Amino acid sequence: MRIKRERPQVAVVVLGPVPSPRGIAAAFAAGASGYVRHDERIEGVERALVKARAGEAAVAPQLLQGAFAELLHPSAQPDDEAQRLLRLLTHREVEVLVRVAEGEDTRLIAAGMGIAPSTARTHVQRVLMKLGVGSRLEAAALAARTGLLDRAVPGQRKPY
């Protein structure tokens, strides 16, 4: 997570959808200090922020219980949403998604890929549309939650 690399003193709490164990693990692996469901009451979000600032892991006990239950009793057919999503994206769009997840703005994406800012903006818009999300933050959260970022190799087409 770019924030943790550039500002290690900052505590990041992910506000996301109903998480899978992989999603919670991905958030922490990316440098998050906590994970809170997007429909959590404001008091729960505030508690998570206080814990994260104090250096504690901030995950609601019911999320951990659900994650452990799923790990102990996995479903018979694993959900491979990452594979399905990767098939929707071109290799350039995967590269853009990785850069979005790293926190790059349009200008940095364009410079890093050697393309015009308007082209980068178009790629970002297409990624958001194909993933069915409304913002860069939602795209990054979806990519982390599904494990898509772990499978993405920018500039190289993989046999998803």
pLDDT at residue 79, rounded to an integer? 53
Least confident of 20-24, 86-90, 147-151: 20-24
Work out the average pLDDT over 11-27.
Answer: 75
What residue ranges define each of the domains in the chain, with the CATH number in brackets? 2-72 (3.40.50.2300), 81-151 (1.10.10.10)
Other beta carbons within 10 angstroms of residue 46's beta carbon come to 12
pLDDT at residue 134, rounded to an integer? 84
pLDDT at residue 33, rounded to an integer? 87
* Most confidently modeled range among 40-44, 124-128, 134-138: 124-128
Q: What is the pTM of this model?
A: 0.50
